[in-house]
Structure 1
Amino acid sequence: KISIDYSSPAVKDRTVWGEVVPYDAIWRAGANKATTIEFTTDVSLEGKPLPAGKYAFFAIPKAGDDAKWTVVFNKVSDQWGAYQYDEAKDALRVDVKPQFKKVNQERLTYTLHDQTADKGYFKMAWGKARLYVRFKVDVLEAGLANVDKALEEAKDEDKWAIYANGASFLLDLEKETKQAMEWADKSTSLREHSWNLFVKAQAQAASGDYSGAVATAAKSAEVGMANEDDHYYENSKAEIEKAVAEWKTK
């Protein structure tokens, strides 16, 4: 999880870059208190590692359309502006090239954008400048740890769902197919539901067992139709049928 806490100053017909925000000087990347960014897991930013934690976020803008700006992650997260900023407390500095748009962004905003399950970018927009900082997380390691922790804390009657969620997570990542199959098998051995049966079918297909996947998907449909309270099958029927049609061609 990534969270950004910031104040949002307005342009107010001013020249932001080079005047409101001087070039070649540390900037709080917001207003009032320093902007903070918190990562709940270890992350890499523009290819450089940063441990999990909460950081004050600063930027050093540079003049010129081709100039790269420096973004700074400082270990002292609770700061007012940049008045007590200490470079010695920096955890990471990376250089990124801003983009300049014709459209003016009146208030400073930060937005998070996922590109895949394990990477994306956050964007800062103010005035005509747009700053994109790419991040990547090891979601596999974190996800496996989360499943193990959930299983330790769960009641026995809830573990089937945790195994199914874990298998689905791995299938979405297209990683650790063998582990996904083991968890799907464990889930359906504890309880059979249209949902975890379809997860098992997907794991079989990912393992190359398409005939097994078709058979398990048929059982998913059978179980779903037999239970009028099974809203998963009701909502996923088209997806299941589409998957089965594709598997039958393999």
Structure 2
Amino acid sequence: MKRVILISVFILQALLISAQEKVQIKLTEPSPSASFEQEIGSTIVNVTYNRPLTRGRKVFGELVPFDEMWRTGASGCTTFATNETIDFGNTILESGKYSIYTIPSKKEWTIIVNTDTTLHGTTGYDEKKDVFRFTVPVEKTANFYETFTIEVNDINNKGEGFLKLMWENTMVKIPLKSKADENILALIEKHIVKEKTQNVNLLFQAANYYYSTNRDSMKAIQWLNDAEKIDGTNFSYPNLRQKIYVDLKDFPNAILAAKTALAIAENKKMKVAVSLKKQIEEWELLLKNKK
């Protein structure tokens, strides 16, 4: 019996030793990789990079020396890809994939766009492959960034935004602008301004674009009036007109446009009629009190 127990103990120990030999502890990456895709206007951009951590160290001026080229991250070079021509730092960048290097200094950074995306950091960097360079000012952030962060943010209706590089309390912003705004304005100029289109959809889209991008309000109103003359049963046309008049603080005309929209909404039994009627009453009361 004792012999059986002893053999069992030896077998158990052997199994435990074997199991321990197979166990591996996978350490976390000191600079985890990241990538993201972002739509801006009509453009899709993609950024791939590694994110070093502060870990109690002083970054800019020490870990990342001033006035020296930096890989703008860690490990392999940071890449920026765009599926169509885009304004990058107010300079035209053709569609394609590029590496991004930087030269940080106290008051501004030099941004370098290079065609070689195969490098590990700055090793093998060739200035002859630069597409262009430009500088951007340094800004201080209210939040502390423990991890180096790149993001595309502050995107507006014109297809403009910023590529932001942030670490510690330091941030630099690279202006981005897609060709969407330029292309849309060209279509408006061609079909509506020059050819005087009678297409109600184009008239409404042009007016809506002018409204959403804070352009000439009176032109937008005229295009909506033209659309209503062709199709007087579409709720969207007078409803957008009343929104534009409200922005102009022209409440008498806002009320007239809203009443036109309300009549259509009630006729079509649209749920929006209730809130629109209440809004008209509030504007009428506002005008009455001003008198």
* Common fold: TM-score over 0.5: yes
**Contact kept? 1:184, 1:203, Cα under 8 Å:** no
Residue 72 of structure 2 corresponds to residue 29 of structure 1: yes
Aligned Cα root-mean-square deviation (Å)? 4.3
Deviation at 1:129, TM superposition (A): 2.3
Residue number among 16, 35, 51 corresponding to 1:9 in the alignment:
51
Secondary structure of the residue that 2:49 maps to in structure 1? coil
Residue of structure 1 in register with 2:241 after alignment:
200
TM-score, normalization: structure 2?
0.60
Residue 167 of structure 1: how far off its partner (Å): 0.7
Matches within 5 A, 1:1-250: 1=40, 3-11=45-53, 13=55, 14-18=57-61, 20-31=63-74, 32-36=76-80, 38=82, 40=84, 42-43=86-87, 45=89, 48-51=90-93, 53-54=95-96, 55-62=98-105, 66-74=106-114, 76=115, 78-80=117-119, 81-100=121-140, 104-114=144-154, 117-118=157-158, 120-135=161-176, 140-145=181-186, 160-177=200-217, 179-188=219-228, 189-190=230-231, 192-202=233-243, 213-228=254-269, 230=270
Unpaired runs of 5+ in structure 1?
152-158
SS at match of 2:223: helix
2:78 counterpart letter in structure 1 = A
Q: Secondary structure at the match of 2:51?
A: coil
The structure with more radius of gyration: 2
What amino acid does structure 2 have at the position aligned with 1:21? V
Residue identity in the other structure for 2:138: P
Q: How many residues align?
A: 236
Contact 2:88–2:174 (CA under 8 A) maintained in structure 1: no
- Deviation of 1:5 after TM superposition, in Å, equals 0.9
**Residue of structure 2 equivalent to 1:155:** none
Q: Structure 1: which amino acid aligns with 2:149?
A: T
- Over residues 196-235 of structure 1, what are the superposed CA-to-partner deviations in whole Å (9 max), with x where a residue is unaligned? 221234567889987555322211011112323x355567
Moved more, 33-42 or 91-100: 33-42
Partners of 1:56 and 1:240 lie apart in 2 by 55
Cα offset, 1:243, TM superposition: 6.8
Q: Paired residue for 2:10?
A: none
- In structure 2, do the counterparts of structure 1 residues 56 and 187 end up closer, same or farther at CA, with 3 Å as the change threshold? farther
Is 123-132 or 101-110 further displaced after alignment? 101-110
Identity of paired residues, percent?
A: 20
- Aligned partner of 2:27 in structure 1 is none
Tell me if structure 1 keeps the 8 A contact 2:210–2:220. yes
CA contact (8 A) 2:72 2:101 kept: yes
Q: TM-score, normalised by structure 1?
A: 0.68
